[in-house]
Chains A and B, each alone.
Chain A
Amino acid sequence: MMKTIKEINEKIKKGEAVIVRADEMPEIYEENPKRAAKEVDIVTTGTFGAMCSSGALLNFGHSDPPIKMQRIWLNNVEAYTGLAAVDAYLGATQLSEDRGFEYGGAHVIEDLVKGVEVNLKATAYRTDCYPRKEVETAITLDDMNQAWLLNPRNCYQKYNAAINSTNTLLQTYMGTLLPNFGNVNFSGTGEISPLNNDPNYETIGLGTRIFLCGAKGHVISEGTQHSPKTGFGTIFVQGDLKEMSPDFIAGATIPNYGTSLFVGIGIPIPILNEDVAKSTAVRNKDITVNLFDYGVPRRTRPVVREVNYEELFSGKVDINGKKVRTSSQSSMKVSHKIMETLGQWVEDKEFFLSKPIKNLPGDSEFRPLKVKEETKFVADIMIKKAITAYQKDSLKKVSEILVKNAIDQIPIVDSNNKLVGIVTTWDITKALAKGEKRISEIMTKRVITSRKDEPIDVVARRLDKNSIGSTPVVDEDNRVIGIITMADIIHRGVSK
């Protein structure tokens, strides 16, 4: 049994197409696979979440006299202009020059879709054909010639979940991660996620018409980092910003990480045969991802466990016998609205399916970056003979060690060389003022430490974040084996 896209479009025209949502399909299919494949024509899918690899390609038209825009800003967010005179690409994650993380390219795109006027500022060098040096004006989306959403990587099939094993709060692109395995963050919409419903790319390809932020858009290629082999497919999408709705596109701030764009995508899956029907019958419990420990900021993060979307959506995930609450970073409510809207469009004969002119690759993998310079680790540059003092040492003795070695802080260890605290010259000054005498009373007990197998960039970030100049390097048993300072990282390492 086979159906064609042409036949399904005929049914849409006659108002006879049978449309079901991706979350309804598993039950229909399991009841009778053959009948499901025969009777269902279209399964609607949907997702609405932060998709960083997004942006808008804009054409402003010419001023008189004209300008070859060399640098441009929209509401103080810079756009890329290495194109012709008045074309620019505004990236969603580009930060505003005056509002930092609170406003970026994504927010400009949202403002444009809402019809809000934005400030356009451009500077240039003069040429014979483009004599103007600068221009500043206010424009709306309607004033532009073309304004396309052009997103090189959207609609991840699924995404690995995140947790934090460290004892400090982390703010990552996966959102806020509480310390000590405090929460699990995940994104994606599981069984209704578009690419989970056609993981073999039997129907989705170059030219597939889709719901894109309330407009009709298209898939124009596989997305960057497309990795269908591992279940992490992506698509490159394009659509007209002028037709989009603020209900399905929104600028977002990922705290202390950057800005991103919430993008709404719905793909109609034509049920061409039983194989496609089977793919659309996927359930949340069958879609698994790794739960990664973001406490380790490396390319390969440790896997805490495997989880499926049924567990993630349940609100709690079991981690070593403890129930840890989950937070979705994608909106199920808006995703459902996308499925419904797409279905309504088809029913109203406003949306017809398109046959892809080229299939997307189903076997590619995402490869890492080759970096010629070797990664430097703490062990490569740390000072191995760390100067330490004992907890039982007198204030006078510790002061003498500090002076003798011209250092301003010193790790405090017990008789087994295990780290118990740290004392700075400021602590000593305070102790003198307050009349305290014991090291154990004046030392800071919660010490920021590092391990010898950590890359120095990781330690540089830790020092910056905690506004400190050095950290003791400890082994698995918390014994001090060295010390690493920001000065060493700058002079002997490569980190800037």
Chain B
Amino acid sequence: MTSKYLLKYPTGVADSPVISKTVLKTGVMMNILRANVDYGEATLIVDILGDKEEQKKVVDYLRGEGVDVSKLEKNITNNVEKCVDCGACIALCPTEAISFKDDYSIKVNSDKCIRCGVCVEACPLRALEIVRA
């Protein structure tokens, strides 16, 4: 079982090897999906590879280190009112989260989405949106 989380580091934390420490301390693996690290602050999207209890262990540890943690339940939405099901987004998605159904409707798999936003920028109808964490 895995779940996606958004990690925000406040000033100071980004300088320490907080991910490594968390993995070593908890023994739970993490897959970094996206990372935006800048001076003094960072935003990470990670998959925590563990059951509910293990995930909680990781979240608690990170929070103890001063990291702001929020679970990503829903990542992307497709506004069916606006969408014309052209498919311009499909091949752009790095995780293949968007596909055609049998009737050529667009299907968005929010679980696979890593919130990169490439499809949002490319959509001619402006029908896709990253859900705020």
A residues near B, CB below 8 A? 48-50, 102, 175-176, 178, 182-185, 250, 252-255, 260, 262, 315, 324-334, 336
Contact of B104 among A252, A253, A254, A336 (CB under 8 A): A336
Count A-B contacts at CB 8 Å: 77
Cβ–Cβ contact A332 & B85, under 8 A: yes
The residues of B that contact A49 with a CB separation of less than 8 Å are: 86
> Does A332 lie within 8 Å of B104, measured CB to CB?
yes
Contact partner of B92 among A176, A315, A330, CB < 8 A? Answer: A176
Query: How far, in angstroms, from A182 to B122 measured CA to CA in the complex?
Result: 14
Is B53 part of the binding interface, using a Cβ–Cβ cutoff of 8 Å? no
Known interface pairs A176-B121, A253-B126, A254-B124. Does A328 touch B88 (Cβ–Cβ under 8 Å)?
yes
User: Which residue of A50, A102, A315, A327 contacts B89 across the interface (Cβ within 8 Å)?
Assistant: A327
Partner of A183, one of B85, B86, B91, B103: B91
Q: Within 8 Å CB of A102, what residues of B? A: 126
- Residues of B contacting A176 in the complex (Cβ-Cβ under 8 angstroms): 88, 92, 118, 121-122
Report the separation of the CA atoms of residues A327 and B103 in the bound assembly, to the nearest whole angstrom.
Answer: 16
User: Could you say which residues of chain A place their CB within 8 Å of the CB of B92?
Assistant: 176, 178, 183, 327
CB distance from A330 to the nearest CB of B (A): 6
Q: Type the 1/0 row for B59-91, where 1 means its CB is closer than 8 Å to any CB of A.
A: 000000000000000000000000011111111
B11 touches A (CB below 8 Å): no
Residue of A nearest to B86 (CB): A331
By the criterion CB–CB under 8 Å, are B84 and A48 in contact?
yes
B125 within 8 A of A: yes
B91: contacting residue among A252, A325, A332, CB under 8 A: A325
Hey, which chain A residues are within 8 Å of B103, CB to CB? 333, 336
Is the beta-carbon distance between B84 and A255 smaller than 8 angstroms? no
Given contacts A175-B124, A331-B86, A333-B104, 12 further A-B contacts (CB under 8 A): A49-B86, A185-B88, A250-B125, A253-B124, A262-B84, A262-B125, A315-B90, A324-B91, A327-B88, A327-B89, A329-B86, A330-B86
**Shortest Cβ-Cβ A-B pairs, 4 listed:** A325-B91, A252-B124, A183-B91, A327-B91
Of B103, B118, B124, B126, most buried by chain A (CB within 10 Å of CB) is: B124
Contacts of B125 in A (CB 8 A): 250, 252-253, 262
Measured CB to CB, the nearest residue on chain B to A316 is B91
Q: Are A255 and B87 also in contact (CB < 8 A) when A176-B92, A333-B105 are?
A: no
Question: Can you list 6 A-B contacts (CB < 8 A)?
Answer: A176-B92, A183-B92, A255-B122, A262-B125, A327-B89, A333-B105
Distance between Cα atoms of A102 and B126 in the complex (Å): 9
Q: What separation, in Å, do the CA atoms of A329 and B124 have in the docked complex?
A: 9
Of chain B, the residue at the smallest CB distance from A326 is B91
Of A325, A331, A334, the contact of B90 (CB 8 Å cutoff): A325
Cβ-closest chain B residue relative to A262: B84
With A176-B92, A185-B91: A334-B121 Cβ-Cβ less than 8 Å: no
State how many residues of chain B have any CB contact under 8 Å with chain A: 20
Query: How near does chain A come to B86, taking the closest CB pair, in angstroms?
Result: 4
Partner of A331, one of B85, B122, B126: B85
Given contacts A255-B122, A336-B104, contact A331 B91 (CB under 8 A): no
Q: Is the CB of B121 within 8 A of A328?
A: no
Give bound CA distance, A494 to B125, whole Å: 37
Distance of A47 from chain B, by nearest CB (Å): 11
How far, in angstroms, from A183 to B90 measured CA to CA in the complex?
10
Kindly report which residue of chain B lies nearest to residue A178, judged by CB atoms: B92
Contact with A along B94-126 (1 / 0, CB 8 A): 001000100111000000000000100110111
Q: What CA separation (Å) do A328 and B124 show in the bound complex?
A: 12
The interface residues of chain A lying within 8 Å CB-to-CB of B86 are 49, 262, 328-331
Min CB distance, A323 to chain B, in Å?
Answer: 11
Q: How far is the CA of A331 from the CA of B127 in the complex (A)?
A: 14
* Contact between chains at B104 and A331 (CB < 8 Å): yes
| Residue numbers in A under 8 Å from B121 (CB-CB) | 176, 255
Among candidates B85, B100, B118, B124, residue contacting A334 with C-beta atoms closer than 8 Å: B85
Which residue, A175, A260, A325, A336, has most C-beta atoms of chain B within 10 A? Answer: A175
- Across the interface, B122 reaches (CB within 8 A) one of A175, A325, A332, A336, namely A175
Q: Are B84 and A260 in touch, CB under 8 angstroms?
A: no
For B118, list chain A residues within 8 Å (CB).
Answer: 176
With A and B bound together, what is the CA distance between A254 and B124 in angstroms? 5
Chain B nearest CB from A449 CB (Å) reads 26
Q: Is the CB of A260 within 8 A of B104?
A: no
Q: Which residues of A contact B126 (CB under 8 A)?
A: 102, 253
When distances are taken between beta carbons in the complex, the residues of chain B under 8 Å from A262 are: 84, 86, 124-125
What are the residues of chain A within 8 A of B96 when measuring CB–CB? 325
- Considering the complex, give the chain A residue whose CB is closest to the CB of B119: A176
